[in-house]
Homo-oligomer: A and B are copies of this chain.
Amino acid sequence: MPRPAPVADLIEPRSYRGLDASELGRRLRELRKQRKQTQGALSRRTGIATSTISKVENNQLSPSFETLLRLAEGLDVALTELLAPRDGSGGLTRLCVTREGQGRHHETQPYHYEILCTELVNKRMHPLIARLKARSRTEFGELFHHPGEELFYVLEGEVELHTEHYGPTRLAKGDCAYLDSTMGHGCLSVGAEDALVFWVSIVS
């Protein structure tokens, strides 16, 4: 049975600022106006009564999932676009720099991790540098698997990437791999020295 990756535990999930119940109406009206649609037009496109649309826009009722889906479709937006307007205007500008060797170090069986930019919480991607200690498939143990995606770039040494659904692949310095983390995966060092990779992971 695959085990969850230890990184996943170290990574605090991104705090999401979605709409709260009282903002949905404003948001719906905003999108509709943007598209220069009237309630009537939106009603025709979605089959939802104008009276209902009015009540939603005025936060007088909490529409069902069905209704939300039809509204989003009628506005030609993804549901997430309706419910979680991308920020950017939210304007929380941030910057974080980690100098070579100054990350937070963390030891696991097959990898030594140096986790980078840990001062910055709420980031969506999680960069780290991993030194691959395992040198054989058996030494690695069970493959990791967890929700999300990850990619890595080989900085030093030679890597053998093992996954659940593909044959082992060799990667040399300068090579890059991208994979779906739900698929069992794990990296070994196969060169003379332990390999070093720059790794970026995104959860769920």
Mostly, the A contact residues are loop
Do the beta carbons of A178 and B93 come within 8 Å of each other?
no
Do the beta carbons of B176 and A93 come within 8 Å of each other?
no
How many copies of this chain does one complex carry?
A: 2
Select A125's contact among B20, B97, B125, B182, beta carbons within 8 Å: B125
Q: Which residue of B lies closest to A15 (CB)?
A: B78
Do the beta carbons of A117 and B149 come within 8 Å of each other?
no
How far, in whole Å, are A21 and B67 apart by their CA atoms in the complex?
Answer: 10
How far, in whole Å, are A164 and B62 apart by their CA atoms in the complex?
Answer: 37
Number of interface residues of A (CB under 8 A): 78
Q: Which residue of B lies closest to A182 (CB)?
A: B88
Do the beta carbons of A123 and B149 come within 8 Å of each other?
yes
Within 8 A of B (CB), among A108-153: 116-117, 120, 123-125, 127, 147-149, 151, 153
What 0/1 pattern do residues 161 to 185 of A give for CB contact below 8 A with B? 1011110010111111111111100
How far, in whole Å, are A163 and B117 apart by their CA atoms in the complex?
Answer: 17
In the complex where A94-B183, A97-B175, A200-B200 touch, is A64 in contact with B66 (Cβ < 8 A)?
Answer: no
Query: Which residues of chain B are near A98, meaning CB under 8 Å?
Result: 175-177
Query: Which residues of chain B are near A171, meaning CB under 8 Å?
Result: 97
Do the beta carbons of B151 and A127 come within 8 Å of each other?
yes
Q: Which residue of B lies closest to A151 (CB)?
A: B127
Select A124's contact among B64, B89, B202, beta carbons within 8 Å: B202
24 contacts between A and B (CB under 8 A): A21-B69, A63-B65, A80-B83, A81-B204, A87-B180, A88-B149, A88-B180, A88-B182, A88-B204, A93-B164, A93-B165, A94-B180, A95-B163, A95-B179, A97-B171, A98-B176, A100-B173, A116-B178, A117-B178, A123-B149, A125-B125, A125-B202, A127-B151, A151-B200
